[in-house]
Homo-oligomer: A and B are copies of this chain.
Amino acid sequence: MEQAILDYLKDKREIYLKELSEFLSIPSISALPDHKGDVQKAAEWTADALERIGMEQVKVYETKGHPVVYGEWLKAEGKPTILIYGHYDVQPVDPLHLWETPPFEAAIRDEKIYARGATDDKGQVFMHLKAVEAILQSTGTLPVNFKFCIEGEEEIGSPNLPTFVEENKELLAADVIVISDTGMLEKGKPAICYGLRGLCGLQIDVKGAKGDLHSGLFGGAIQNPIHALVQLVNSFHDANGKITVDGFYDRVQLLTDEEKQAYANLNISDESFKEQAGASELFGEEGFTTLERVWVRPTLEVNGIYGGFQGEGIKTVIPSEASAKITCRLVPDQDPDEIVSLLQKHIEKNKPEGVEVTVSLFDKGSPFVTPFDHPAIQAAGRVYEKVYGVPTSYTRMGGSIPIVAAFDQILKLPVVLMGFGLPDENFHAPNEHFHLENFDKGLDTLCYYWYELENSL
């Protein structure tokens, strides 16, 4: 890669930060109807920016919700095509009074840029635009082909993007998807997240008598819906934390020795995990390390339970109903639909006597993994190492980004999550910010990456 590209990025730094500040000044809060116009404005800003850096076929695609912005450059004949996904919408900003500077007036302090969207995800989308601009301006061409797909509904769960992707498979066809919407392990430690857990969930509602009953007059002769619920919910785990739903673990992939070693090399101690969790003890499935438990083992968690009296003191009631909300984190190759059906069978089989049990389903998302040894993953690792001067960590995440799984499933493409954010940058919280060190190094890393991919795929 030519030094001219890096020099160009250095030259333009001040201008870029100004442009980014302009992007960040648009309050494109997708969750709030009052900001619909702002979201549209951010879409147009993104389209203009794509035009300005030399993309073609730039278009703001309307959806049932906020639009998707597309642009491409496909002149690198015979070379791989990269689909870059990101989002121009942001989270709400309340509580506003906790912000040290206004959320939509970008402010730089201590080599960090503060604004809503600085790290999630306008800052990282902007870097992708500028890396491409720098190469194109410095060299007159690009080493690979690019397609940009920047949406405006990520913060509300991307309700319309899967349909858009499904309807535009050909438009979006590529060799690899690159997403910069996650984070590094910690400052100075680049990481490539190559796997996410999936999600499925359901609510169990247990109904007993028509109304609440006096526990003196009826207690002993009527099934208490709380007892029934507790019995049912307790049947999901054994005392060691293992999930007892028949077939639940059948499709769970085991780690390769190489991956086990990679996780061990991260040197994330149980002590630091405890501290991060604010917990005095850890607890989980036997036979696995903490990282394995959160990254590559599935879970079944009760996220909420309620029934009967919750006030101060005592109320001697047998409630008429009780409910639990349950979600599972899934790992490759578990299938959310299959798991939901196993859960339903388990509930049917373990339904306690004397009550009515109904189940309602929540949204689902598949687990995702790009093979650890995929050339696009390994190439990303090499360029991170080059720019940051330290070995790249290969990680997974216990959380779920449904849109990643959707891309994976609809387009059948490997996904590379190249995140430049840091865990403590307050994404979704007041005083969101982005470290300029990672803005600068991230731009260099992206430029190196495209050259590295030119011959790796």
Please give the residue numbers on chain A whose beta carbons come within 8 Å of chain B beta carbons, in ascending order: 197, 199, 201, 208-211, 213-224, 226-227, 229-231, 233-234, 237, 239, 241, 273, 277-285, 290, 293-294, 297-299, 301-310, 313-319, 322-325, 327, 329, 352-356, 362-363, 397-400
Contact = CB atoms under 8 A, between A and B. Distances in A.
B237 A294 contact: no
A329 B213 CA distance: 14
B277 A222 contact: yes
B219 A299 contact: yes
A40 to B, nearest CB: 27
Given A209-B277, A277-B222, A308 B319 contact: no
A285 B227 CA distance: 13
A304 B313 contact: no
B305 A327 contact: no
A355 B283 CA distance: 9
A301 B224 contact: yes
A220 B297 contact: yes
Contacts of A230: 230, 233-234, 302, 305
12 contacts: A201-B316, A209-B279, A210-B278, A216-B399, A217-B398, A218-B294, A219-B294, A220-B293, A221-B273, A222-B284, A301-B318, A314-B327
B277 A224 contact: no
A310 B304 contact: yes
Contacts of A216: 197, 199, 294, 329, 397-400
A214 to B, nearest CB: 6
B302 A227 contact: yes
A327 B217 CA distance: 13
B315 A303 contact: yes
A417 B227 CA distance: 33
Contacts of A226: 233, 302-305, 324
Nearest to A226: B302
A354 B281 contact: yes
**Top 5 A-B residue pairs of the complex, sorted by shortest distance between their CB atoms:** A216-B399, A283-B354, A210-B278, A304-B308, A223-B283
B304 A325 contact: no
B234 A301 contact: no
Nearest to A302: B226
Contact of A303 (B211, B319, B325): B319
Given A210-B278, A223-B241, A304-B307, 7 more contacts: A197-B216, A215-B329, A221-B283, A227-B301, A234-B234, A280-B356, A316-B327
A299 B220 contact: yes
A216 to B, nearest CB: 3
B277 A399 contact: no
A9 B168 CA distance: 94
Nearest to A313: B362
